[in-house]
Structures are given as C-alpha cells and as structure tokens.
C-alpha cells in the first residue's frame, strides 16, 4: 500500500497474466495462442495501414470493422461493438450492465479476470461451484430477482467444456430482466455461437475475440454482439473512457482477417484435428481429461501433482499452465500448438510420468 494510491488501487488484486518468456526456445503452450500466423491478408492490411495515415487519429466509430463484423454475422451495425481485446469489452460490459447493489453470478471455476473486474467496479461476485465433472449447474443460476446479471464463458475456461445453445436459452428465458453475457473466446474450435439467438433475446450479450481463432492476440481486438439497447450501454461506457479504442492497424487488420474465411476454416480445422489426436494420446497415457471444444486441453495425472509435471515439462523446454486454486490444482492446461510442437510435448510428457 502506498500513501499515493487511492483506496481503490490499494484494494485491488490485479490479474496476473500467463508468462510470456523472453527466451524464444520454449515450446509455448501456456496462454492459448494460435500456433499458426494470422491470415496473410490481415498482415498485408496491417502493413499497408502502417504505411499510410498513422499521423491521423483512427475513426472513433470504428465504422469499417463494425460493418464487416455485422456482415459476417448477418446482424445490424447497431448490434455490434468493438474494443481493444475482449478483456476491454468485458470490462466495459461489467460497468455497463451490473449493479453493485445485487450479486453478479458466475461459475467457480471460470476465467479469473471476472473476479478482478467485479472488484474493480465494486460489484458483489457470487460464485456458483461447478460439479465434480466441471459441469456448470445452470439450475443454480437463480432467476431474475436475486441478482444483477450472469457471465459465463462458452466453452468454459480453463475446463474447455461446452454448453449447448439450448442450455443457454433456458438461462436467458429465466432472466428476461437481466443481462446474460456469454464469453465466446474459444467458440470457433468446435462450438456453436449464441449470436444466432440475439434476435430473440434482448438480454443476451455475446463477446468474442480475434486473439485465438484468428491468431491476432498481439493486435488486441474484441467484439460484442447484442440488442441495440445493450450496444448503446457499452457505447456510453466507452465514450466516457476512451473514444479512440482501436488503432488504425487493428481496424484494418481485423477487417481483413474477418474477410479471409478460407484461411480461418483451414487453421481452426487444423487446431481441432491436432487437439483430437493429442487428446487420444494423453488419455492412453493414463491422464484424465475433459471433452475439450477449445484450443487447449485440461488434463490431470492420477499420481503426479500438476505443479510437479509443469516443472518437469518446463525443464524439457515445454511451457504449460498449472493452477493454484484448490478445485483445479491437479490440472494442467495445455494449449494446442502445431503437430510438431505437440509431438515434442507428448515426448516430454512421456518422459515426465
């Protein structure tokens, strides 16, 4: 605590992001990045944007990207919001839709940033424990009156488990006066997006990112889709905070990426194929694992502690993620890399058990 800090700065428990080692020789499977480069068309567009008009401010309305994202999903432009990574979009959504007077509900286990945002905005997080097999007990997400809103990732992180749209619909129907946020950071690796439910549910906000399935984690682009009413709520927060959210490189790169459907399908398809192969091998080696519909596996060895395995793998040059929180401290999260990277991971894992 410093005497210069506000009570808020003193009270926060900031998020600790996954390690980004300077040493490039690691096989880096710890932060769910895509192993393939972004679409060459996106890279070209970023270079062209860097060569022209960086002197000028970007378009504060992010018009070209909003148009392209609306076209991509068959929505109206007023149903689309874009921000500087989905982390920023999530931060705006927490501020826009949740009332500090009532609890905001999310599963325990989930993306650890939610707790950080809840604290930042003085909200009351109410964590709903997941079941033994990491299923989210939707019936325990109380109806309307008892809370201010719900947020959950689909697939969940770090468990990688996917909920069918029918489950999300029942949650939306039971909470017509509350916003239900579905964080679809990993939806493109085998899930079905809830975007198609937007015309029927004005209380649904879907958040996506270009960081995972579009290989653009370094560009920082996130998107939200929802009713005009919800998008207007996000705009109110954004314009009170930073009206120039996306820079010129991000705007042009993101548009080109969304236009390259063939490359997107090819690379996400490859990640899913590799995931299935590696999941099979890991299961044969005696690990327990969830049915992943994300670009990572969530695995546990019956006899060796996750932290110990993490250290053994690290020594062999493979970086994965382990968790300290009690319910998942026996699990490793392993991002899906290229086939070569995953073969090296499997070899290191075999030597480590």
User: 114 or 141: whose CB is closer to ligand PMP?
Assistant: 114
Return the residue of 33, 68, 183, 260 that touches ligand PMP, per CB under 6 A: 183
The number of residues making up the chain comes to 353
Number of residues that bind ligand PMP (CB under 6 A): 12
Smallest gap, in angstroms, from Cβ of residue 222 to ligand PMP?
Answer: 4
Return the residue of 49, 157, 318, 348 that touches ligand PMP, per CB under 6 A: 157
How far apart are the C-alpha atoms of 285 and 315, rounded to whole Å?
Answer: 20
Place of tokens 């560009």: 219
Smallest gap, in angstroms, from Cβ of residue 67 to ligand PMP?
Answer: 20
| Coil, strand or helix at 166 | helix
Q: Examine residue 75 and tell whether it contacts ligand PMP (CB under 6 A).
A: no
Return the residue of 38, 153, 190, 253 that touches ligand PMP, per CB under 6 A: 153
Return the residue of 34, 175, 211, 292 that touches ligand PMP, per CB under 6 A: 211
Q: Which residues, numbered 85-124, are part of the site for ligand PMP (CB under 6 A)?
A: 85-87, 111
Closest CA to 32 of 160, 135, 130: 160
Among the residue ranges 21-29, 35-43, 72-80, 84-92, the one whose residues contact ligand PMP (CB under 6 A): 84-92
- Is 41 in contact with 255 (CB distance < 8 Å)? no
Smallest gap, in angstroms, from Cβ of residue 326 to ligand PMP?
Answer: 20
User: 64 or 217: whose CB is closer to ligand PMP?
Assistant: 217
Give the Å distances, CA to CA, from 143 to 130, 153, 178. 18, 19, 9
Smallest gap, in angstroms, from Cβ of residue 211 to ligand PMP?
Answer: 3
Return the residue of 91, 104, 182, 185 that touches ligand PMP, per CB under 6 A: 185
Q: Examine residue 222 and tell whether it contacts ligand PMP (CB under 6 A).
A: yes
Residue 203 CA from chain centroid, whole number: 20
Return the residue of 209, 227, 268, 295 that touches ligand PMP, per CB under 6 A: 209
Give the Å distances, CA to CA, from 200 to 148, 152, 166, 176, 307. 20, 19, 13, 11, 45
DSSP notation for 24-64:
TTSEE-SS---SSPPPHHHHHHHHHHHTS-TTSPPPTT-HH
Return the residue of 138, 217, 237, 346 that touches ligand PMP, per CB under 6 A: 217
User: 27 or 89: whose CB is closer to ligand PMP?
Assistant: 89
Among the residue ranges 71-79, 81-89, 272-280, 331-339, the one whose residues contact ligand PMP (CB under 6 A): 81-89
Q: Which residues, numbered 33-62, are part of the site for ligand PMP (CB under 6 A)?
A: none
DSSP letter (8 states) at residue 324: -
Smallest gap, in angstroms, from Cβ of residue 321 to ligand PMP?
Answer: 11
How far apart are the C-alpha atoms of 122 and 100, rounded to whole Å?
Answer: 6
How far apart are the C-alpha atoms of 142 and 106, rounded to whole Å?
Answer: 11
Smallest gap, in angstroms, from Cβ of residue 34 to ligand PMP?
Answer: 11
| Coil, strand or helix at 18 | coil
Region for residue 339 given its phi and psi (left: phi exceeds 0; alpha: psi -120 to 50; beta: otherwise): alpha
Provide the binding-site residues for ligand PMP, judged by CB under 6 A: 85-87, 111, 153, 157, 183, 185, 209, 211, 217, 222
């Amino acid at each position: 605590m410093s005497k210069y800090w506000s009570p808020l700065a003193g009270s926060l428990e900031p998020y600790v992001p996954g390690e980004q080692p300077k040493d490039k020789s690691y096989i880096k499977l710890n932060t769910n990045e895509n192993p393939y480069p972004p679409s060459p068309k996106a890279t070209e567009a970023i270079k062209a944007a860097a060569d022209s008009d960086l002197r000028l401010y970007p378009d504060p309305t992010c018009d070209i990207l909003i148009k392209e994202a609306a076209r991509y999903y068959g929505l109206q432009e007023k149903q689309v919001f874009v921000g500087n990574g989905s982390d920023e979009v999530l931060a705006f959504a927490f501020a826009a839709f949740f009332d500090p007077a009532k609890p905001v509900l999310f599963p325990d286990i989930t993306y650890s940033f939610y707790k950080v945002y809840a604290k930042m905005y003085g909200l009351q997080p109410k964590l709903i424990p997941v079941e033994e097999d990491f299923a989210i007990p939707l019936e325990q997400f109380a109806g309307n009156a008892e809370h201010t809103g719900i947020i959950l990732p689909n697939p969940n992180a770090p468990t990688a488990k996917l909920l069918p749209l029918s489950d999300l619909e029942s949650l939306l129907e039971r909470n017509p006066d509350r916003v239900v946020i579905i964080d679809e950071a990993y939806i493109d690796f085998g899930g079905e997006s809830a975007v198609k439910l937007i015309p029927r549910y004005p209380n649904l906000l879907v958040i996506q990112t270009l960081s995972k399935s579009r290989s653009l984690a370094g560009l920082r682009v996130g998107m939200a889709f929802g009713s005009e009413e919800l998008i207007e709520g996000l705009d109110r927060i954004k314009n009170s905070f930073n009206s120039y959210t996306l820079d010129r490189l991000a705007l042009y790169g993101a548009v080109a990426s969304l236009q390259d459907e063939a490359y997107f399908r090819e690379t996400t398809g490859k990640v899913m194929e590799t995931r299935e192969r590696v999941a099979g091998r890991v299961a044969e080696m005696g690990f327990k694992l969830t049915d992943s519909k994300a670009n990572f596996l969530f695995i546990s060895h019956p006899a060796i502690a996750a932290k110990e395995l993490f250290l053994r793998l690290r020594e062999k040059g493979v970086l994965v993620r382990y968790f300290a929180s009690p319910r998942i401290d026996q699990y490793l999260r392993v991002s899906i890399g290229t086939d070569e990277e995953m073969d090296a991971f499997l070899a290191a894992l075999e030597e480590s058990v």
